[in-house]
Structure 1
């Protein structure tokens, strides 16, 4: 990581109220691993140091707004891609355990190798789909938190994520600007699968100023056994949501 990159990371995380000085070597190593792997395998469209630092590292850490991930617990990262937000969160939250989930094996292979290289024993990557895990007794209602970053519309996220949560657990969903129509459909979908939207936190990404929204949903009741529906259906037929 160049001095300019380090300064960007320090500035961005300081705007989030975070102290990362002790973790700079880990973030520098993660940057190196991602750039090298991305030269061989298409893991992310972000190529430059500044893009990766601000739109992967700092953006991932916005999950920590509001203290919803404080303390210990089991956290599933739904649709982790190349390990975001799971890897930055695991660096900053060594007391929590993270399960980065993605259906694309090459991405999970990278996440597994990066976690080993960074000596992150609190990261256990998994290849799979949320629809399948949500019906698997080993994963249904197992997790304390589910995080997801720009994965899908809110009604889809509600159906995919809430079945994986223990009662009282939280979904922390990172999104860009969200319309009233999507939010309304998301509230209805959450209620249908045993949850409710408890927080809508609109803010701007540090340094860049891009619009972001953190949506928090809490598991408040049992998820009906018919949810999640079979693979592909939540995306093709989102609950209470027709805008495509």
Structure 2
């Protein structure tokens, strides 16, 4: 489950993840060009500096499994997880349960020049592929196959691989005959694809998804869901 997401502009390209309110001097001293270093309480990750924003997402139990993992272990979080920079320009704090050691996995999209970071707390013990996408695509940490609502939430948790996520979300709705209100979840996800969209601009899309989904069958759902996804994106000029 996705708990939060932050887009950060880091002047020095140094992001601290963990507990405490200031960088640990020993951690900084041991960094020296490495993609990441960790202590018992903090993880220091090198990200891109000034060339673009870095997106940090926080997950609980079920979260994406990236190819590059810069940390897998335990951090003493003291009941709170913080993201902060070297210069003290910002600090984001999230309550994460009881004080003590917490299992943490930190995945990135390219060690040393990171633009995306996924921090997964208490990750599931296995890797599972989402049932509606191809093998090896969007693998997630989980203790077992995700329920349809959890799979839908995972698909709608981000906007990369836009067409794939949208078509797969529609397939989840169809295959599992999910309640009508879940169509609204897909429509609200679409709002993030183009700044300035108002509810009135996309209200008709919920009815479109509902009407088209009801005539899809198990035999044609892959093709029809992909076709509807393309139509929805085209209607928004995405």
Q: Considering the TM-score relative to the shorter chain, is it more than 0.5?
A: no
More helix by share: 1
TM class by shorter chain equals 0.3 to 0.5
Name whichever structure is richer in strand by fraction: 2
TM-score (norm 2): 0.34
Please give the TM-score of this superposition, normalised by the length of structure 1.
0.33
